[in-house]
């Protein structure tokens, strides 16, 4: 999981700030296949992970980019998929 996050972060390291986040979000949305395994008819792990990120950032005053952002999303997606919530 960590290697995937590192590779994705490296792909967009030339971008900074909002451009970096936008590119990483787009990448994760593009590779998301959670719709193939719906729970209660609807399931999108990537969108749920991004929403959790926004709540995390608002609560703590953080702004994640690059590898930190990728690792956060990977961890949240893993948790969402494996716990079914």
Span 20-32, pLDDT tens digits = 999 999 999 999 8
Tokens of 35: 């719709």
Residue 31 CA to its chain's centroid (Å): 11
User: How far is 54 from 9, CA to CA, in rounded Å?
Assistant: 19
Parse the chain into domains and list their residue ranges: 2-83
| DSSP reduced 3-state for 30 | helix
Q: Which of 85, 54, 35 has the alpha carbon at shortest distance from 73?
A: 54
* Whole-prediction pTM: 0.86
pLDDT, tens digit, 9 for 90 and up, residues 15-64 = 999 999 999 999 999 998 877 766 665 678 899 999 999 999 999 988 99
Q: Tens of pLDDT along 6-16?
A: 999 999 999 99
* Structure tokens, 32: 């998301």
């Amino acid at each position: 999981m960590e290697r995937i996050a590192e590779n994705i972060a490296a792909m967009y390291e030339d971008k900074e700030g909002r451009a970096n986040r936008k590119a990483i979000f787009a990448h994760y949305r593009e590779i998301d296949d959670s719709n193939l395994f719906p729970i209660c008819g609807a399931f999108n792990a990537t969108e749920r992970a991004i929403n959790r990120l926004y709540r995390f950032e608002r609560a703590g005053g953080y702004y994640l980019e690059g590898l930190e952002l990728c690792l956060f999303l990977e961890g949240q997606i893993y948790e969402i998929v494996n716990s079914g919530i």
